[in-house]
Amino acid sequence: MIFTSDFETTTFNKGSPFDLRNKAICLGIQVDRNAGEAIFRPFTENIQQTINEASLLVFFNAKFDLHWYTNIGITFEPCKIWCCQLAEFLLSRQTLSYPSLEEVASRYGLGNKLDIVKLDYWDKGIDTDQIPEAILSDYVKQDVALTYSIYLKQIKEFSNRPIALYKLFRLCCDDLLFLLEMERTGLPYDIDLCLKRSKEIEQKIEKIHLELKSVYPDIPINFGSGDQLSAFLYGGTIYEDYHEHVGFYKTGIKAGQPKYSPKIKEHILPQLVKPIRNSNLLKPGVYKTDVQTLQKLRGRASKKFVGPLLELSKLDKLNSTYYKGLPKKAKEYGWEDGIIHGQFNQCVAATGRLSSSKPNQQNMAEECLDLFKSSFN
């Protein structure tokens, strides 16, 4: 028995199963080629029995739906999984990152999703739990029908490709179950240590800013702006917006109040560091200021100015990505359990390798590794 299903959930952070504000609203299911049905909360135990009897579970985005099955207390091991999104990524030779149900269905000439839910509800800020059940029911049954039809098309596609590709797909589906557990377990992190480090690093950043600003104490330079940093290092013009007092209002509700006119002051800066060859940008007089370019600069002057700039860039990244960034991301994504539930992506890298995002857990700064604690202590 082939069991195809699809969850419709509330939409905080795209329906993330780890955002505690979200809840599953409707489940579309289809057994073999039979007509699908929509099941609304509360979900029944019959779903578990049907899954236990299935020889294959078919989803479009399997990881998303399996996370939601876990959320409502349904288990699915040791079931065999078919993820249509993952299959299409491999069939496209890793050129179609995270293909959508709509574009894959269109590619196979299977029809379209029902637009009414997106256009008349989601796009207007109406969440899934406020959509009439009859409309949501039709929507989810169409999604399930399209998913099953895509599955049938993909079987034929794999049969026309080398057998190694299908074996790779089956292996990736097995891997998916491990990634599912890794995302759900997540990485516990020390929030208090994050906040402590953030304060320390902001003090260091402020000290470097004061050091750099002392070069031109009367000129407001934004060292986060590539154009202004270029002018600071290689020479150029920095424009300062200000308001000049031009008199007083004589009438109206502002009568007697000072009157100002917007003005722009030009600050022409000399060259402190010679730019490297071919580092000029399309904008005349502006040169590259990225970290890789700064590291190539040479000379006594470059050591005086570039060293602090590189340190500033490093500290800014550590703070924004980890010390301040992790608690901010946790709040944004609704992770209220002190655990980071990052994503592991099978449908992104053109090389077919696994990638990680929100945050990237495969390439964390060494200075920040002590923020994380084991889940198994």
Q: What is the pLDDT of residues 153-200, one digit of tens each?
A: 999 999 999 999 999 999 999 999 999 999 999 989 999 999 999 999
pLDDT of residue 377 exceeding 70: no
pLDDT at position 296? 87
Q: What is the pLDDT of residues 323-357, one digit of tens each?
A: 999 999 998 898 877 889 999 999 999 888 999 99
Mean pLDDT of 262-282: 91
| Rounded Cα–Cα distance for residues 295 and 311 (Å) | 11
Mean pLDDT of 4-11: 96
Q: What is the pLDDT of residues 288-331, one digit of tens each?
A: 999 999 988 877 677 788 889 999 999 999 999 999 999 999 98
Q: Give the CA count within 13 Å in the CB-facing half-sphere of 293.
A: 18
pLDDT at position 102? 95
Per the CB < 8 A criterion, the answer to whether 234 and 226 are in contact is no
Considering the domain delimited by 2-185, tell me its CATH architecture.
2-Layer Sandwich (3.30)
Q: What percent of the chain clears pLDDT 70, i.e. is strictly above it? A: 99
Residue type, 176: L
Indicate the domain borders of the chain: 2-185, 187-215+290-377
Q: What is the pLDDT of residues 69-115, one digit of tens each?
A: 999 999 887 789 999 999 999 999 999 999 999 999 999 999 999 98
CA dihedral 145, 63, 40, 50 (to 10 degrees): 70
pLDDT of residue 376 exceeding 90: no
Pick from 211, 179, 149: nearest CA to 347: 179
Mean pLDDT of 110-137: 94
Give the containing element (helix H, strand E) for 338.
none
pLDDT band at 268 (very low <50, low <70, confident <90, very high): very high
Per the CB < 8 A criterion, the answer to whether 215 and 370 are in contact is no
Give the containing element (helix H, strand E) for 20.
none
β-strand 2-9 against 24-31: which pairing, if any?
A: antiparallel
The mean pLDDT value of the chain amounts to 92
Beta-bridged to residue 355, according to DSSP, are 345
pLDDT at position 327? 92
